[in-house]
């Protein structure tokens, strides 16, 4: 019985609990180990790359060394490539990604919520969704070029069309995964349908929605690079294509690495937003 007041105090003020500092230390230690392991893996990969390059297994023009790739990176930072600066290619690609990806979220999340709550809307949209979903993005490029030219609009539409099925399906999955017990308890407490949707269903669906966003950002980059390979005069995809035609493999690798780093940074940004919006899920 004497332990009860202390237990109550610990529940009200978890920061006072002796367990809390230990948890924080372990979390920090785990994060440090994670970054150390990641760095070690990257260093090993670069060393293996350097070893294979020095061994001459592939011709130097086909597999340039990490030093040659770094020199190519420094060169295009200062001088650009193909009449375009590297910064402008990065900004153009990021602008296209943001427009198409944000558009897919603004359309896909409400549509997914409606489809999960209204069978009539589901019956209308689902056949179209299932038709569009398996078609590769490259198949749409000729039509979009013919309809809209080679400006920014067809690229944004391609990213939206390629990404929106992922967002819609993730949103629907999140709504369907809402525990029935939560809804029953809310109804027992007198909550209206609107309150249940706003206070129970939507918060329960948010983790799945953010997961679909994290998957969708990778799809968005795939669609963008596909569009820039064929119908563009700037951007990172165009840089890779233009350098590849000239057999400038070092510059191709530079473009690929930059695309991967920016895509990873965007995925990390989505994780951070998720940790703020959905704190009960835990840190990723």
CATH number at residue 150: 1.10.3720.10
Residues 16 and 113 occupy one common structural domain: no
Residues 74 and 209 occupy one common structural domain: yes
Within a domain: 50: no
Burial of 262 (0-12, 13-18, 19+ CB in 10 A): middle
Residues 31 and 132 occupy one common structural domain: no
Which is nearest to 221 in space by CA: 267, 253, 252? 267
Residues 275 and 205 occupy one common structural domain: yes
Residues 234 and 169 occupy one common structural domain: yes
Give the SS3 label for residue 233: coil
Residues 40 and 119 occupy one common structural domain: no
Condensed to tens digits (0 to 9), the pLDDT of residues 87-109 reads: 999 999 999 999 999 999 999 99
Within a domain: 37: yes
Residue 72 near residue 129, CB atoms below 8 Å: no
Residues 105 and 34 occupy one common structural domain: no
Dist CA 201 CA 195 (whole Å) = 9
Condensed to tens digits (0 to 9), the pLDDT of residues 184-234 reads: 888 888 888 888 888 888 888 898 999 999 999 999 998 888 888 776 778
Domain that holds residue 12: 3-45
Helix (H) or strand (E) holding 72: helix 66-79
Residues 101 and 238 occupy one common structural domain: yes
The whole-model pTM stands at 0.78
Residues 143 and 187 occupy one common structural domain: yes
Q: How many domains does the chain have?
A: 2
Residues 119 and 200 occupy one common structural domain: yes
Within a domain: 253: yes
Residues 135 and 67 occupy one common structural domain: yes
The alpha carbon of 201 is separated from its chain's Cα centroid by a whole number of angstroms, namely: 24
Residues 25 and 108 occupy one common structural domain: no
Helix (H) or strand (E) holding 172: helix 152-176
Dist CA 70 CA 279 (whole Å) = 40
Dist CA 204 CA 185 (whole Å) = 14
Within a domain: 53: no
Provide the pLDDT for residue 105.
94
Which is nearest to 237 in space by CA: 93, 21, 116? 93
Percent of all residues in the chain with a pLDDT value above 90, rounded to a whole number? 28
Confidence category of residue 78, pLDDT binned at 50, 70, 90: confident
Within a domain: 51: no
Within a domain: 54: no
């Amino acid at each position: 019985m004497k332990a009860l007041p202390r237990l109550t105090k610990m529940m009200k003020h978890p920061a006072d609990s002796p367990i809390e500092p230990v948890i924080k230390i372990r979390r920090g230690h785990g994060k440090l180990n994670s970054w150390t392991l990641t760095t070690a893996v990257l260093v090993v990969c670069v060393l293996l790359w350097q070893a294979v390059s020095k061994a001459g297994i592939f011709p130097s023009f086909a597999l340039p060394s990490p030093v040659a790739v770094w020199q190519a990176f420094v060169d295009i930072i200062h001088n650009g490539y193909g009449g375009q600066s590297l910064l402008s290619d990065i900004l153009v690609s990021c602008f296209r990604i943001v427009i198409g990806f944000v558009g897919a979220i603004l359309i896909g999340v409400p549509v997914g919520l409606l489809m999960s709550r209204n069978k009539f809307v589901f019956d209308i949209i689902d056949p179209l969704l299932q038709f569009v979903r398996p078609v590769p993005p490259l198949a749409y490029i000729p039509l979009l070029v013919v309809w809209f030219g080679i400006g920014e609009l067809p690229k944004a539409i391609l990213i939206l069309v390629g990404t929106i099925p992922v967002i819609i399906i993730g949103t629907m999955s999140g709504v369907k995964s809402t525990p029935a017990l939560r809804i029953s308890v809310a109804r027992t407490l007198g909550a209206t349908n609107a309150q249940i949707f706003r206070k129970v269903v939507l918060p329960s669906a948010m983790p799945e929605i953010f997961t679909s966003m994290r998957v969708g950002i990778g799809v968005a980059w795939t669609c963008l690079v596909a569009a820039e390979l064929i119908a563009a005069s700037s951007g990172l995809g165009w840089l890779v294509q233009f350098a590849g035609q000239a057999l400038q493999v070092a510059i191709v690798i530079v473009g690929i690495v930059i695309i991967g780093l920016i895509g990873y940074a965007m995925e990390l940004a989505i994780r951070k937003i998720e940790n703020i919006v959905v704190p009960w899920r835990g840190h990723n």
